[in-house]
């Protein structure tokens, strides 16, 4: 798929980001979460609405590189109970994070209570479950549900059906691994009103299959692949308020670059 923009310059010797933010935990407390954005090979799925590829490399980094990024980043971050490791792809994609690195990382985050990673639903399988068994903190897996709009999901190039998402969720929950869903607000080919409607429907679907935490993400124009129109801030507010009012789990709005 041709892209009209180019990647940013990033280096495998350094995580692409390391910062802290507060978030409501499933226990009802607002607590600090450390967040590390690792630098690694681009995700192979190439969803049309995704812009995470901009901060990725074209090649697989050597074993140990990502673990070192995480170790260095951890040293720069304050103490916290919860850690998010986001790699602009899937934590269990070995092209992105080599297997030995995942276990090395597990070894030096034993003090954390929770580890949150992002994974494509198709990559939820034995390596994920083995890692969860080895890991000291509670594992939470974030997966992109994106949208339940039947006219849009197949066009996102996500290589995922709602059945795939439900199967992955069930498999995780059966093993006591927590699940959060990323839900897009206003995908390509949706009007503002359709975006709101389908984001709410996506929260309904996620919660109906046992997802405890939903994060609503407004799409961002300018990914160079497909035309996107950023939703209005009030639309994000409306969708998140809708989800919270259901009192069926946590619902966050990720304001990213929204004014």
Classify 137 as helix, strand or coil.
Answer: coil
Q: Which stretch binds ligand SF4 (CB under 6 A): 17-25, 43-51, 67-75, 123-131?
A: 43-51
Shortest distance, position 221 Cβ to ligand SF4, whole Å:
16
Measured distance CA(98)–CA(66) in Å, rounded: 8
By CB under 6 A, name the one of 15, 35, 88, 124 that touches ligand SF4.
88
Binding mask 222-251 for ligand SF4 (x = CB under 6 A): ------------------------------
Measured distance CA(32)–CA(206) in Å, rounded: 25
Question: Across the beta sheet with 138-146, what order do the strands follow?
Answer: 17-24, 30-37, 82-86, 114-118, 138-146, 178-185, 213-218, 250-253
Burial profile 129-143: b = 16 or more Cβ within 10 angstroms, e = fewer: bebbeebebbbbbbb
Binding mask 146-185 for ligand SF4 (x = CB under 6 A): ------------x---------------------------
Which DSSP state fits 156?
G
By CB under 6 A, name the one of 18, 47, 226, 236 that touches ligand SF4.
47
Q: Which residues pair with 19 in a beta bridge?
A: 35
Q: Which stretch binds ligand SF4 (CB under 6 A): 5-13, 42-50, 105-113, 193-201?
A: 42-50
Give me the residues that bind ligand SF4 (CB under 6 A), please. 43, 45-47, 50, 52, 88-89, 120, 144, 158
């Amino acid at each position: 798929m041709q892209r009209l923009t180019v990647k940013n310059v990033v280096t495998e010797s350094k995580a692409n980001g390391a910062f802290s933010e507060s978030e409501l935990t499933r226990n009802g407390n607002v607590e600090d979460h450390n967040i590390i954005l690792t630098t690694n090979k681009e995700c192979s799925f190439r969803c049309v609405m995704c812009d995470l590829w901009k901060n990725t490399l074209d090649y697989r980094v050597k074993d140990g590189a990502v673990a070192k990024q995480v170790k260095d980043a951890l040293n720069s971050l304050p103490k916290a109970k919860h850690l998010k490791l986001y790699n602009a792809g899937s934590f269990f994609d070995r092209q992105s994070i080599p297997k030995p690195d995942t276990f090395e990382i597990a070894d030096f985050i034993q003090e954390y209570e929770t580890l949150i990673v992002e994974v494509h639903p198709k990559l939820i399988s034995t390596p994920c479950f083995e890692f969860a068994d080895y890991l000291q903190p509670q594992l939470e897996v974030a997966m992109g549900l994106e949208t339940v709009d039947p006219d849009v999901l197949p066009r996102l190039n996500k290589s995922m059906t709602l059945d795939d998402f439900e199967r992955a969720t069930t498999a995780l929950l059966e093993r006591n691994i927590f699940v959060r869903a990323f839900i897009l607000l206003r995908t390509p080919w949706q009007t503002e009103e359709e975006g709101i409607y389908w984001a709410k429907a996506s929260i309904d679907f996620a919660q109906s299959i046992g997802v405890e935490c939903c994060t609503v993400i407004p799409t961002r124009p300018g990914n160079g692949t497909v035309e996107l129109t950023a939703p209005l801030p009030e639309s994000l507010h409306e969708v998140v308020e809708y989800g919270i009012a259901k009192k069926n789990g946590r619902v966050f709005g990720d304001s990213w670059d929204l004014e």
